[in-house]
């Protein structure tokens, strides 16, 4: 007995996820990586082998799949769930493991996905742009997992969206960002991104873009136009119509508009087509560049490829399109469909193959440099791998004699036969009718197919299905051959019809299900058939008698599938409750939970030792048999959609699963030893096929015709060969004679040239001897001249040495004399400076004594100044404390205003739409204020400079304090003038204080109005509470009626169940009569008793209603009491909030107070009230400056007072308007309440 559940591993997985961008890439010339189901598949299409990268969360949506340029790293752009950040997962394609996870580094990002991701050319950095509303660019050093730099990716104007980012092929710091109405070339330098070059794409809908070279960018538009940007500038003369252009030269300056190959457009104006042009324009998509050229998609399923001739010239070489052979797999007539639109293009590393993906679950390829378009104007794409279904696969059937299985498509209306040994599709047949189910005969030579109109028994021929018999069963959802093939069962509504596969007679009609039948299962000996349905019943039928021999009903569950063991004694079923049930002898033996979700399909091996179940979102579960008290199972994930069907091969070695997304997985059983059934040694899969006699005769006739044609062609070929040999022999003879004559002429020429060559060599040797003799003579003459010159130069050298010796002696004597004179001068200088130093010491001592005297005087002056300052501070403090008390009183009065302002804020939130136009004006004012702030900042800088200069002058002024005392009398003359001006200023301040008192009176009036409004509010709240109580009582009445309705429904359901149970006794009238009487006595009561009980029920309801009403009144009174108690708490909270705002205002006033104190101190120093004095001239200048500033301050103060008065008037008007609105709302609420009460009374 096996001790663990069998393990399975995915061997081949057919499928493709078309909801992911860039969903196919070449790793090598034979390996392709693409997403399918819940895995990333690495498919070797030459060896037909696959490897898988399993995703951490197979249900998490993926935006795009990006391959690094070195083809070693793969990045998955995953979309975030609600409340999470988007992530980029990078996988190592050598180990197939996750290497790094990148995410948005900032917490305040609200983007749910990265709009686009791209590796740089060296694969060291990764550039990603988040989607809306952020549109932020992040430059990752992905190996370290950190963001090197970031910037805003959207247009500065905020228009357009970003769909693509392309990195420069030679510069990792240069990228181009494109999208509809977006084009930006950006460069990073020291973590700062800057835009450069052309970017005016506000009216151009860009669909695709690429770097053509390191300095050229090519992009396509939605109107089918190709444009070029070179060195950051748009080439106005390089604008092409994508479907018409045949060659592309980027060096030409003149635009060839008359030839129709170029279309000049302006980036600032909308691109409009001429009214005479009737052709539909298609967008340019999927630009891809490679060293030998580039390719793009444009038109209904077309791919255009341009070959590079020179660095500045490209010529169209081929146009590709999906072939008609591929069209026949999806439709009868080869018409273009939007599903065939090109989604992605990729090129293999050797630049030999072009691969595309569409919205179908299929990869297509074509040779890149095959026939030229002059030979074949439209090259067809071929399918890479088997032709897949489009849409869900709704049925699956396995064959016993052959390694094949059959599938049917729900949307594409096709039947396909697959070979799981060769991994190919052997046959495809399309139909006009919908296909609901298929079943393959164990021999593989016959099949039954359930169409929407009939059930057809078909013969599987070599390349077609031939209908042999039709049965009048419409929309047959389930049909299945018996294990040995002599019978088949088909579902007709709620009846199972069993037919003979030989005589086609209807053997049995099995009735009993009253819901949709979901599954049929035959035992190995064909003596038992098990069926299950949506009504929760599992029935066992005997095929020897046609009677139901077992049943199990669980109405709370909907059974989806069932399986029966080889002897038919026990059955396994799964359904919507997520539990596996083992049923035997009409009883439930085991009931085990598995994966906490609904289970869809089940299959049992022929050995009865392996059980496989599917459920949830694509999981395949292997369960250990026999079942114990707790299920032992393993779950395997490859699909990410619901698995619709599952089947085991005849040898129990291969498991096939199909899903709703048209994906098919072939699983290999890895530890099936001891569990799989033992096959006969001589067992081998059959290779025989059926062919009709007519087709065979046609093929024989065609073979005979071809053989006769072959013999005729051979005779023609031999005759033509002989004629060609004769003509070639004559030509060869002529050529041989010509060659012989030419060889003789060449020999003669060669002899002549050899003679001339020997003569020339003799002449050259004579010339060489002459040159040697002349050279020797000149050499001897040169040697004699050189000896004479050498002697004369030696004599000259001797005389120069004597001169140098004499000059050296003279210089030494002069140096000694100069040294003695310098020593004497140094002694004299030392004596002189020592005498001066003594004099300076005496002066320093005198100055030190003078400085001590001045410091003492300074300290006395300082002490007197500090005493005066302390006295003034005390006076100012008392004055400002009085002022502060007054401000506090004013703040208490302003609390009422803040409450009103809060109410106004609530109403203002409703009127935000009315004030939106004011936002633009405020923005303009904000800009003006920013300009003012900049000017003020400059003034601050200037003032700081002045402060630094004044600090230097302070030291000089302290020295002149003694002189300033003498000038004190002059300043006293000006004191009288200043006192007079101060009295004038006081007279000006008094009227302003009067206006402040008037404002305080107005605030008191507003507080009284607020109290009145609060009283009105309390009255409204009481009315609302009363209405809420009435509503809750109405709700309770409604709930009681609903409960009564529910009890009646339950009794009706019980009556239906009893009636259903009575159907078993239809043929026995006596039992039927007794059952009807029992049913009547059970559910029908005496009329008087019913009436009395109804009266009692009404009295009880009236009593309960009155009690509920009284309880609600008590609760309302309690709430009013709690509100009156808790109102003080809410008032305290409001007061605390208002105190916080007042404290902030007090802090602002303190800062203003400090500034005014400093200014007062300066004024007092100018007026001479303190002990610090300044010269008269500076005092006059400062006095003049102060008086001028005072006039300006008065003017500003008057303006501010007028503005505040206007604001107060506006607030009063707004308050009155809001009060009128409140009264209108209250009146309307009262009217609606009255209407509701009237309606209730009428009801």
Decide the pairing of beta strands 313-322 and 379-384: parallel
Residue of 129, 187, 181 lying closest to 158 (CA atoms) = 181
Decide the pairing of beta strands 182-189 and 49-54: unpaired
Structure tokens at 394: 């709704």
Tens-place pLDDT, residues 1043-1064: 888 888 888 888 888 888 877 7
Residue of 1038, 1032, 1077, 1016 lying closest to 1225 (CA atoms) = 1016
The number of beta carbons lying within 10 Å of the beta carbon of residue 738 is 10
Burial of 710 per CB tally in 10 Å (0-12, 13-18, 19+): exposed
Residue of 120, 134, 24 lying closest to 86 (CA atoms) = 134
| pLDDT number for residue 393 | 93
Q: DSSP for 568-605? A: SSEEEEEETTSEEEEEETTEEEEEEE-SSS-EEEEEE-
User: What spatial distance separates the first Cα and last Cα of the chain, rounded to whole Å?
Assistant: 74
The upper half-sphere exposure of residue 757, i.e. CA atoms within 13 Å in the direction of its Cβ, equals 6
| pLDDT number for residue 335 | 62
Residue of 115, 93, 104 lying closest to 139 (CA atoms) = 104
Name 289's bridge partners.
294
| Coil/strand/helix, residue 817 | helix
What does R_g of the chain's alpha carbons equal in angstroms?
A: 52
Q: DSSP for 219-286? A: EEETTSEEEEEETTEEEEEEEEETTT--EEESS--S--GGGTSB----TTS-----TT--SPP---EE
The number of beta carbons lying within 10 Å of the beta carbon of residue 727 is 10
Tens-place pLDDT, residues 554-583: 888 899 999 999 888 889 999 988 889 999
The residues of the chain scoring below 70 in pLDDT are 1-4, 252-279, 324-336, 672-682, 913, 1084-1096, 1124-1133, 1136, 1161-1191, 1222, 1225-1226, 1228-1243
Q: Say if residues 456 and 469 touch (Cβ distance below 8 Å).
A: yes
Q: Say if residues 380 and 359 touch (Cβ distance below 8 Å).
A: no
| Coil/strand/helix, residue 470 | strand
The upper half-sphere exposure of residue 741, i.e. CA atoms within 13 Å in the direction of its Cβ, equals 5
Burial of 562 per CB tally in 10 Å (0-12, 13-18, 19+): buried
Q: What are phi and psi of 408, to 5 degrees?
A: -130, 145
| Coil/strand/helix, residue 430 | strand
Strand runs (DSSP E) across 313-434, as ranges? 313-322, 344-347, 353-357, 363-367, 379-384, 393-398, 404-409, 414-419, 424-430
- In SS3 terms, 967-991 reads as CHHHHHHHHHHHHHHHHHHHHHHHH
Q: Say if residues 462 and 691 touch (Cβ distance below 8 Å).
A: yes
């Amino acid at each position: 007995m096996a001790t663990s559940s069998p393990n399975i591993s995915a061997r081949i997985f057919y499928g493709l996820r078309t909801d992911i961008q860039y969903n196919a890439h070449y790793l090598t010339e034979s390996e392709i990586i693409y997403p399918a189901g819940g895995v990333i598949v690495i498919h070797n299409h030459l060896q037909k082998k696959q490897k898988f990268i399993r995703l951490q969360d197979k249900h998490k949506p993926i935006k795009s799949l990006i391959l690094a340029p070195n083809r070693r790293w793969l990045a998955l752009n995953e979309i975030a769930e609600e409340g999470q950040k988007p992530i980029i997962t990078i996988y190592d394609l050598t180990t197939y493991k996750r290497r790094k996870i990148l995410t948005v580094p900032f917490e305040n990002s609200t983007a749910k996905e990265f709009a686009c991701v791209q590796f740089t050319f060296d694969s060291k950095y990764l550039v990603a742009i988040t989607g809306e509303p952020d549109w932020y660019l992040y430059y990752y050093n992905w190996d370290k997992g950190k963001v090197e730099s970031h910037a805003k990716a959207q247009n500065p104007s905020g228009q357009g969206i970003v769909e693509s980012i392309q990195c420069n092929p030679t510069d990792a710091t240069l990228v181009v960002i494109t999208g509809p109405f977006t084009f930006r070339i950006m460069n990073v330098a020291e973590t700062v991104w800057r835009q450069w070059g052309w970017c005016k794409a506000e009216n151009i809908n860009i669909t695709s873009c690429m770097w053509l070279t390191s300095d050229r960018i090519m992009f396509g538009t939605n109107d089918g136009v190709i444009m070029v940007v070179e060195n950051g500038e748009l080439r106005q003369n390089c604008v092409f119509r994508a479907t018409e252009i045949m060659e592309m030269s980027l060096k030409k300056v003149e635009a060839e508009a008359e030839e129709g190959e170029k279309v000049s457009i302006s980036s600032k104006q909308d691109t409009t087509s001429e009214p005479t042009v009737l052709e539909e324009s298609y967008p340019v998509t999927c630009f891809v560049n490679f060293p030998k050229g580039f390719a793009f998609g444009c038109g209904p399923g077309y791919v255009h490829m341009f070959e590079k001739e020179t660095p500045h010239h490209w010529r169209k070489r081929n146009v590709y399109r999906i072939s008609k052979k591929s069209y026949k797999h999806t439709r009868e007539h080869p018409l273009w469909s939007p599903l065939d639109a090109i989604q992605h293009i990729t090129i293999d590393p050797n630049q030999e193959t072009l691969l595309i993906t569409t919205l179908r679950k299929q990869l297509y390829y074509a040779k890149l440099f095959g026939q030229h378009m002059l030979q074949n104007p439209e090259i067809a794409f071929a399918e890479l791998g088997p032709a897949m279904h489009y849409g869900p696969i709704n049925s699956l059937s396995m064959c016993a004699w052959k390694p094949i299985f059959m599938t049917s498509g729900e949307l594409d209306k096709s039947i396909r036969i697959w070979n799981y040994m060769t991994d190919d599709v052997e046959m495809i047949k399309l139909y006009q009718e919908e296909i609901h189910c298929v079943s393959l005969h164990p021999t593989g030579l016959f099949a039954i197919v359930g169409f929407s109109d009939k059930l057809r028994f078909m013969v599987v021929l070599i390349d077609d299905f031939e209908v042999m018999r039709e049965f009048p069963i419409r929309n047959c959802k389930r049909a299945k051959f018996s294990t040995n093939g002599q019978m088949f069962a088909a579902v007709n509504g709620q009846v199972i019809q069993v037919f003979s596969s030989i005589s086609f007679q209807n053997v049995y009609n099995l009735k009993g299900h009253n819901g949709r039948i979901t599954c049929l299962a035959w035992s190995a000996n064909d003596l038992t058939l098990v069926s299950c349905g949506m009504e929760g019943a599992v029935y066992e039928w005997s095929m020897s008698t046609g009677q139901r021999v077992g049943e199990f009903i669980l109405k709370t569950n909907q059974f989806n599938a069932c399986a029966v063991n080889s002897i038919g004694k026990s059955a396994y079923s799964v359904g919507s409750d997520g539990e596996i049930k083992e049923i035997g002898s009409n009883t439930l033996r085991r009931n085990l939970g598995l994966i906490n979700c609904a289970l869809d399909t089940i299959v049992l091996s022929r050995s009865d030792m392996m059980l496989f179940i599917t459920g949830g979102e694509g999981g395949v579960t292997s369960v250990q048999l026999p079942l114990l008290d707790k299920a032992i199972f393993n779950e395997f994930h490859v699909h990410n959609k619901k698995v619709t069907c599952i089947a085991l091969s005849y040898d129990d070695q291969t498991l096939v699963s199909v899903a709703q997304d048209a994906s098919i997985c072939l699983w290999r059983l890895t530890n099936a030893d001891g569990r799989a059934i033992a096959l006969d040694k001589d067992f081998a899969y059959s290779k025989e096929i059926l062919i009709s006699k007519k087709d065979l005769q046609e093929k024989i006739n065609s073979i005979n015709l071809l053989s006769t044609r072959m013999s005729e062609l051979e005779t023609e070929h031999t005759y033509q060969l002989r004629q060609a040999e004769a003509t070639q022999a004559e030509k060869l003879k002529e050529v041989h004679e010509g060659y012989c004559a030419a060889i003789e002429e060449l020999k003669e020429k060669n002899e002549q040239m050899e003679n001339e060559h020997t003569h020339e060599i003799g002449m050259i040797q004579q010339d060489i001897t002459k040159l040697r003799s002349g050279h020797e003579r000149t050499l001897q003459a040169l040697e004699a001249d050189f000896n004479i010159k050498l002697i004369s130069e030696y004599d000259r050298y001797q005389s120069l040495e004597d001169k140098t010796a004499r000059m050296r002696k003279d210089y030494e004597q002069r140096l000694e004399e100069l040294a003695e004179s310098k020593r004497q001068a140094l002694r004299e200088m030392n004596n002189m400076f020592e005498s001066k130093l003594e004099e300076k010491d005496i002066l320093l001592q005198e100055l030190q004594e003078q400085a001590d005297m001045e410091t003492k005087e300074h300290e006395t002056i300082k002490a007197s100044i500090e005493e005066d300052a302390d006295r003034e501070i005390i006076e100012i403090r008392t004055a400002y404390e009085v002022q502060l008390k007054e401000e506090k009183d004013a703040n208490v009065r302003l609390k009422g205003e803040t409450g009103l302002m809060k109410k106004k804020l609530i109403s203002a939130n409703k009127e935000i739409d009315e004030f939106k136009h004011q936002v633009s004006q405020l923005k303009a004012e904000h800009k003006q204020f920013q300009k003012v702030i900049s000017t003020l900042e400059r003034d601050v800088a200037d003032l700081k400079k002045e402060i630094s200069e004044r600090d230097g002058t302070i030291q000089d002024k302290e020295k002149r304090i003694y002189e300033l005392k003498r000038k004190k009398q002059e300043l006293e003359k000006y004191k009288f003038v200043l006192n007079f001006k101060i009295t004038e200023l006081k007279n000006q301040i008094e009227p302003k204080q009067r206006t402040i008192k008037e404002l305080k009176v107005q605030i008191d009036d507003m507080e009284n109005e607020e109290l009145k409004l609060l009283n009105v509010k309390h009255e409204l709240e009481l009315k609302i509470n009363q209405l809420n109580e009435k509503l809750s009582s109405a709700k309770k009445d409604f709930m009681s009626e609903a409960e009564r309705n529910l009890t009646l429904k339950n009794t009706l359901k019980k009556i239906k169940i009893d009636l259903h149970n009575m159907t078993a006794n239809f043929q026995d009238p006596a039992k039927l009569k007794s059952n009807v009487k029992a049913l009547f006595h059970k559910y029908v009561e005496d009329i008087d008793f019913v009436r009395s009980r109804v009266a009692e029920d009404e009295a009880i309801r009236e009593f309960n209603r009155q009690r509920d009403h009284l309880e609600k009144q008590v609760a309302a009174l309690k709430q009013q009491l709690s509100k009156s108690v808790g109102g003080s708490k809410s008032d305290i909270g409001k007061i605390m909030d208002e105190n916080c705002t007042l404290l902030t205002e007090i802090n602002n006033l303190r800062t203003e107070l400090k500034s005014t104190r400093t200014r007062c101190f300066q004024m007092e120093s100018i007026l001479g009230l303190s002990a610090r004095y300044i010269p008269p001239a500076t005092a006059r200048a400062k006095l003049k400056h102060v008086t001028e500033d005072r006039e300006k301050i008065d003017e500003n103060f008057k303006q501010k007072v007028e503005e505040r008065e206007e604001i107060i008037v506006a607030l009063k008007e707004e308050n009155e308007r809001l009060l009128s609105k409140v009264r209108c709302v209250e009146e309307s609420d009262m009217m609606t309440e009255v209407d509701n009460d009237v309606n209730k009374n009428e009801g």
